[in-house]
Chains A and B, each alone.
Chain A
Amino acid sequence: MNIYQENILDHYQHPRHAGKLKKQSHSSDVKNDLCGDDLQFELLIDKGVVKDAAFTGIGCVISKSAADILIDEIIGKKVSEVKKLTSDDLVKMLGIPISPTRLKCALISLEGVSKAI
C-alpha cells in the first residue's frame, strides 16, 4: 500500500483548511527541526466547541495532509473530545501505513492542535 494515495495527495494539493481564519481564539506554532516542517494552527473556539480551524506553513505531504484531515475531523467537535484524540486515531484518519520515521510528520498536527487548545 502506497502512502501517496489519492486522498492524501488531494488533501495536500487542494487543502480545505489552509490559510488564516478571519477570527481566531487559539493558535500555535509547531516545528519539526529534523526535517524542517513548520506549521501554524489557528482555531476558533466558542462555548467549548471548535467552530473553525486552519493551518499555514511549510511541510511535507504527510504533515500537511494530516493537518488538513485532522482539522476536517475536529471542526464541530467539543474541545473535550478533541483533547481525547490519540496518535492512533490520527493514523486511522489518514488510512495509510506510516513508517516510524514518517509518523513524526503526521503527529506534528496533533501536537499543533493540542498546543493551541
Chain B
Amino acid sequence: MKKQTGSKLVSAWKNDFPLLKKSKSLHYLDAAATTQKPKLVMDAVKEFQTKSNANIHRGVYRLAENATAEYEYIRDMIHQFIGANSVHEIVFTSGTTMAMNLLAESWGKKNLSAGDEIILTAMEHHAVIVPWTELARQLDVKVRIIPLTDKGLLDMKEYENALNKKTKAVIMTAMSNVLGSVVDLKKIGEAAHRVDAKVFIDGAQYIAHRNINVSKLPIDGLVFSGHKVYGNFGAGVLWVKLDTLEMMPRYMGGGAMISRVTWDHIDYREVPYRFEAGTPNISGVISMGAGVKYLKAAWKSGAKQHEEALLKELLSKLSADKDITIYGPASLKDRGPIVSFNVGNIHPHDLASILDQHNVAIRAGHHCTMPLHSSLGVPATARASLAVWNESRDIDSLIKGINAAKAILMR
C-alpha cells in the first residue's frame, strides 16, 4: 500500500518499527547492513520468554515441549517460505557466515580434492571468499573468478566458459550487497548441473526482496540471516537439498547432534539435527520466524512494489547529479534496492559523516568486498539500501546531505 501525495512515496509500514517511531528524524538507509525490527518481532521474543522459555529437544515437561514445538514450527515455516521439499533440509545456524563456513568445511572438505575447480564471482562477500579460497589453497583446488560486464552484471559468457568437467561447485551471491546485481539462478544452476557441479547460493540480501522457490530451481544450497529479514541478530538458515545434506559430515560437535556417545565411538543424528550442535539461539530463531511472517504480510500488502518504486526514485535522483558515480546495473529488473556510489572525489567516510549530521544513515567502506572494490578501482564506496520503512523523504534527505557535502568538500 503506497500513498502518493504529489510524487512523494510514503511507507505504510514505517510505524511498525518502534525505533523509527522514536527517532522520527532518522533516515535509515542501511537495511543491507541490518533491518530495523518491527514491534511484532519484539513481541514474539517477549512472548516466548514470558510463556515458553525452556531448552528444546530435551525436556519432557510441558514448557519444554512447547518451546520445542515453537522452534520446529519456525523450521516448517522457513521451509515453506523458501519452497524447500522437506523440512529436514533446513539447518538453523548463527547466520549466513556460519552457514557458508559449514558448507565449505563439511561439503567442501569431503568432496573437493587436488585438481578440482570451484567457481566464485568478482562480487562475492568475504563470507564466501574467505572459507572457500582458503579451503581451495589447502586442497590445491583451482578457483575461477567470473568477472562482471561493464553494466555491473555477471558475465554469463565467461561463466559458461569457466564451467568444465573439473568444476565441482559454484558458489555465488543471488544479489550483490554492493551493486545490487541479481543473477539468473535458473540459468546459473542449469549450466552448472550440466557438468555435475553443485550450486551454493548466498541469499543474504536476495531473500528480503525477492521470492525464491528452491525446489523448483537447479540449485543445491542456500544461506541467509535472520537479521536481514526483520529478525534479531544471531540466527540464520542453511538450506541444502536432502540427498546432498545427508552425505555431509558433521561440522560442530556436541550435544543434540548425536544419537549415542561412548568413549570409543560416536553415532551422529540424522539431518538436519546433525548440524545443530549445542543449545541453539532459540529466541533468535523465534525472532527470525516472526520477521519472515512480517515480511510475508508486507509483501501481501505491496511492499515489493513500494521498494521498487523507491529504488526507481533513488536511482533517478542520484544519476541526475553528474558528480555522482553509481556502481551496478541501471535496469530495475537486474538489481535489488542496494545502491553504491561515489560523489566526486569525496571520500565515502567524509560523505557518511556529513550525512550523519543530517540524520541520514548510509554505509561507507568496502562492505566486506575488498576484491570487488579493487576491480572497481576505488578503495571505498558509499552505499544506500532500502527496505519497507523507507520513503521519498529519506531519499530527499540523502540528496540534501550529498549537496551539503559537496558544498563543504568540493569548493
Contact = CB atoms under 8 A, between A and B. Distances in A.
Interface in B379-408: 379-380, 408
A36 B350 contact: no
A36 B378 contact: yes
B364 interface: yes
B366 A36 contact: yes
B354 interface: yes
A2 B357 contact: yes
Nearest to A58: B379
Interface of A: 2-4, 9, 13, 33-38, 58-62, 102, 105
B365 interface: yes
Given A2-B357, A4-B354, A35 B408 contact: no
Interface residues of B, number: 18
B349 interface: yes
Contacts of A105: 349
A8 B367 CA distance: 27
A41 B239 CA distance: 51
Given A61-B347, A62-B350, 14 more contacts: A2-B357, A3-B353, A4-B408, A9-B408, A33-B370, A35-B349, A35-B379, A36-B347, A36-B378, A36-B379, A37-B379, A60-B347, A61-B409, A105-B349
A35 B370 contact: no
Interface in B344-374: 347-350, 353-354, 357, 364-366, 370, 373
Contacts of A36: 347, 366, 373, 378-380
Name which of B353, B365, B366 has the most chain A CB atoms within 10 A of its CB.
B353
Given A34-B365, A35-B380, A60 B354 contact: no
Nearest to B345: A58
B411 interface: yes
Contacts of B380: 35-36
A33 B350 CA distance: 16
13 contacts: A2-B357, A9-B409, A13-B411, A33-B370, A35-B364, A35-B366, A35-B380, A36-B379, A37-B379, A38-B379, A60-B347, A61-B350, A105-B349
A35 B353 contact: no
Nearest to A32: B379
A34 B353 contact: no
A102 B349 CA distance: 8
Nearest to B347: A60
- Interface-central residue, B350, B354, B357, by most chain A CB under 10 Å: B350
A105 B349 CA distance: 9
Contacts of A38: 379
Nearest to B411: A13
A2 B347 CA distance: 17
A35 B350 contact: no
A33 B379 CA distance: 8
Contacts of A102: 349, 353
A36 B380 CA distance: 6
Contact of A34 (B347, B350, B366, B378): B366
A105 B380 CA distance: 14
Contacts of A61: 347, 350, 409
Nearest to B354: A4
Contacts of B365: 34-35
Contacts of B353: 3-4, 102
Contacts of B348: 35
Contacts of A59: 347
Nearest to A36: B379
A13 B411 CA distance: 9
B374 to A, nearest CB: 10
Interface string B171-201: 0000000000000000000000000000000
A105 B409 CA distance: 17
Complex A-B, nearest 8 residue pairs according to Cβ-Cβ distance, in ascending order: A36-B379, A60-B347, A60-B349, A61-B350, A36-B380, A60-B350, A35-B380, A35-B349
